[in-house]
């Protein structure tokens, strides 16, 4: 039987911190406080979820779960700032939300874990949480159970996964999301078009939809798959940006050597 989560604290009111606070509030958890170094940003989110806005860590009120939603490279720094409050936080489950950071960075606290939702979050777009895969890890069985129950109210797609597996999943997520957005940007540069939605959106939509029914290797078409070497050379002569050109060459080789 896990602990009952009622009160939530958030450190870092950026893209993910904002969306967790909004969803938790919608689910009737009490968002006790939101902390941001920049006071105005804390106030902005606090107003939305009826929470206390904080910009000084020493004043943290107690809560059942504390989210560290700061960039991966700042997690250790925030942990150092929180350690003097360790006694006050002994009944609080402290979680980070990073796919690439091991759980044990939190090992100096009593109760800790990881809550990693595999989705791309931005502050201004409310996601549908119901199918978002959430990868959890807890410092002991009770914490894991508590996180499962809590995360289960956000989504019906919950996994318990260790830090090593989570890192691999996170790396895959960078490929299928961040790199796709970067490639969308590059496609406009190469084609000298402005309107991604009008020109490429039907193609990218079909590309994604096919993946609902087929394995990636069954979906792929294009010059590399067809061995249209003349077309590949024409494209390579056209691409000005040396990084995009390198990427085109590397992915063409990857398709030819791994997918055909």
Residues near ligand NAP (CB under 6 A): 12-17, 36-38, 41, 69-72, 74, 77-78, 97-98, 116-117, 119-121
Closer to ligand NAP at the Cβ: 3 or 41? 41
- Give the residue closest to ligand NAP by C-beta: 14
Q: How far is the CB of 120 from ligand NAP (least distance, A)?
A: 4
Closer to ligand NAP at the Cβ: 118 or 232? 118
Q: How far is the CB of 138 from ligand NAP (least distance, A)?
A: 17
Residue 98, Cβ neighbours under 10 Å: how many? 24
Closer to ligand NAP at the Cβ: 15 or 62? 15
Question: What does the angle CA 65 – CA 70 – CA 76 come to, to the nearest 5 degrees?
Answer: 90
Closer to ligand NAP at the Cβ: 12 or 138? 12
Q: Looking at the DSSP assignment, which residues form a beta bridge with residue 160? A: 136
Consecutive H or E run containing 46: helix 39-49
Q: How far is the CB of 127 from ligand NAP (least distance, A)?
A: 9
Consecutive H or E run containing 15: helix 15-26
- What CA–CA distance (Å, rounded) separates 19 from 25? 10
Strand order of the β-sheet with 30-35 is 52-54, 30-35, 7-11, 65-68, 93-96, 111-117, 134-138, 158-160
Q: How far is the CB of 20 from ligand NAP (least distance, A)?
A: 9
């Amino acid at each position: 039987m896990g602990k009952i989560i009622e009160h939530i604290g958030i450190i870092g009111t950026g893209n993910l911190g904002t969306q967790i606070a909004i969803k938790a509030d919608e689910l009737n958890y009490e968002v006790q406080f939101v902390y941001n170094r920049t006071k105005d940003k804390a106030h902005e989110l606090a107003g939305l979820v009826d929470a206390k806005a904080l910009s000084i860590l020493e004043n943290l009120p107690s809560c059942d779960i504390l989210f560290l939603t700061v960039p991966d490279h700042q997690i250790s720094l925030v942990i150092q700032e929180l350690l003097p409050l360790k006694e006050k936080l002994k009944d609080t489950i402290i979680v980070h939300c990073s796919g690439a950071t091991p759980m044990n960075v939190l090992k100096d606290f009593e109760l800790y874990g990881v809550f990693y939702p595999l989705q791309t979050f931005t502050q201004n777009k409310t996601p549908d949480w119901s199918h978002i895969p959430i990868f959890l890890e807890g410092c002991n069985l009770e914490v894991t159970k508590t996180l499962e129950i809590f995360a289960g109210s956000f989504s019906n797609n919950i996994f318990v996964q260790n830090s090593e597996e989570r890192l691999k999943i996170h790396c895959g997520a960078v490929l299928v999301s961040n790199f796709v957005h970067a490639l969308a940007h590059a496609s406009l540069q190469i084609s000298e078009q402005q309107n991604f939605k009008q020109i490429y959106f039907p193609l990218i939509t079909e590309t994604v939809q096919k993946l609902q029914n087929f394995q990636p290797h069954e979906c792929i078409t294009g010059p590399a798959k067809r061995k249209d070497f003349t077309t590949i050379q024409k494209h390579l002569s056209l691409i000005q940006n040396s990084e995009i050109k390198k990427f085109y060459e590397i992915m063409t080789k990857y398709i030819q050597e791994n997918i055909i």
